[in-house]
Amino acid sequence: MEDIDAIAALQDPVRRRLYEYVAAQGREVGRNEAAEATGVARTLAAHHLDRLAEAGLLETGSRRLTGRSGPGAGRPAKVYARARTERSVSLPARDYRTAAELLAEAAEEAGLDAGLGAAAHRRGEALRAAAGPCRDLAEALEVLAARGYEPYPERARTADREVLRMRNCPFHAVAENFPPLVCGMNLALLEGLLGADGPLRARMDARPGECCVVVEDSKNNVD
């Protein structure tokens, strides 16, 4: 399916609510859960979830949601998760991705990490503009969500405190090809965005499948 057709499938408001709910969970979601969360009937939710899967926006699988197995565990249920394929439409046609890849390749070869980091930090500060440093995690969550990071709070492993993790890397394709360069750029951008003298800080804490940065209180010791 062409990108423009896949994106057009989201024009239906119910379908769009379902897509946004499933995408925000970061895990497989069953029909019942999606129906309840979006306030539509189960059969209608199932219909639209399958249309989203046909459009390639969701991937499907089947799981026993009860956690039981063997006889009496029941039939596996159909589950949905956001597809990893990127979709974009630009009118007129633009190709910033090729430009980004070429610039990243040249910057990597020339060892321009420091210059790129400085530019990213300045951009982060400029995006914040007059708003000043983020005051708390709730404000940072809004700022990061507006920039497409899909942030969510997580209880830190070693202490009774919350941090923000981010499900989405807005620079995914170039970050995969040039991780130290582009992840370093992203960290600098977030540092500028959060503000250097505020109560929050960004720190690199990479793990598979997510943005490599964690946002936390700057008072906290590194664990």
**DSSP assignment of 153-222:** EEE-SSSS-EEEEES--TTHHHHHHSHHHHHHHHHHHHHHHH-TTSSEEEEE---TTS-SEEEEETTSPP
For other proteins, the closer CB: 13 or 208: 208
* Number of chain residues interacting with other proteins (CB under 8 A): 16
In the bound complex, what is the minimum distance in angstroms from residue 212's beta carbon to other proteins? 6
Q: Which of residues 88-117 bind other proteins (CB under 8 A)?
A: 111, 113-114
Q: Which of residues 178-217 bind other proteins (CB under 8 A)?
A: 179-180, 183-184, 187, 204-209, 212
For the sheet containing 151-155, what is the strand order?
A: 151-155, 162-166, 213-217, 200-204
For other proteins, the closer CB: 33 or 191: 191
Q: Which region among 76-84, 124-132, 157-165, 176-184 touches other proteins (by CB under 8 A)? A: 176-184
In the bound complex, what is the minimum distance in angstroms from residue 100's beta carbon to other proteins? 16
For other proteins, the closer CB: 101 or 125: 101
Q: Which of residues 38-97 bind other proteins (CB under 8 A)?
A: none
Least Cα distance to 48 among 13, 24, 74, 85 occurs for 13
37, 21 contact by CB (below 8 A): yes
Angle among Cα 190, 152, 114 to the nearest 5 degrees reads: 15
For other proteins, the closer CB: 22 or 215: 215
Q: Could you say which of 60, 177, 218, 220 contacts other proteins (CB under 8 A)?
A: 177
Would you say the C-alpha torsion 15, 16, 20, 21 has a positive or negative sign? negative
For other proteins, the closer CB: 59 or 113: 113
Task: List contacts with other proteins (CB under 8 A).
Answer: 111, 113-114, 177, 179-180, 183-184, 187, 204-209, 212
